[in-house]
Amino acid sequence: MNFTPYSALIGGLLIGSAASLLLWLDGRIAGISGILSGLLPPASGEAVWRVLFIAGLIGGAALLYAVHGHAPCARADFPGALLIVGGLLVGVGTGLAHGCTSGHGVCGLARRSPRSLVATLTFLLVAVGTTCIVRHVAGIG
């Protein structure tokens, strides 16, 4: 594993800036799961900003690829079926928590929301537990 403090700092600044701008300019919370789910189906006047925000996420990844010449692949050696199951479980979890790590962990904690603190701690504890089970019990990864 490589420690990359500069790219982590830049990424954090970009995430914080995007979340702050969305809140200041449009009064909306930058929770990615909520932004994406709001497109299914979109309320009147809601689709444009949501599509633009998601396009910015994809465009940022494309820019990174263009600059560095390779796309990061965090788990190339991990079974694809487990990645799909994990993604679906994350979707269920964000529904139960009424938000995701970006909505609760970035925006909610910045607003000192107790509900977001509980949600973020739950996300982290479940992530640590899941990692321990997958790596040390199931022997994957």
Confidence of residue 54 (pLDDT cuts 50, 70, 90): very high
The tokens of 121 are what? 């701690």
Q: What CA–CA distance (Å, rounded) separates 23 from 17?
A: 10
Q: What CA–CA distance (Å, rounded) separates 84 from 90?
A: 10
Give Rg (Cα) of the chain. Answer: 17
> What is the arithmetic mean of pLDDT over 117-133?
92
> What is the arithmetic mean of pLDDT over 104-133?
91
Tell whether the model's pLDDT for residue 91 goes beyond 80. Answer: yes
Establish how many alpha carbons lie within 13 A of residue 64's alpha carbon, considering only the half-sphere containing its beta carbon.
Answer: 13
Q: What is the pTM of this model?
A: 0.75
Q: What CA–CA distance (Å, rounded) separates 58 from 53?
A: 9
Confidence of residue 113 (pLDDT cuts 50, 70, 90): very high
End-to-end CA distance of the chain: 13
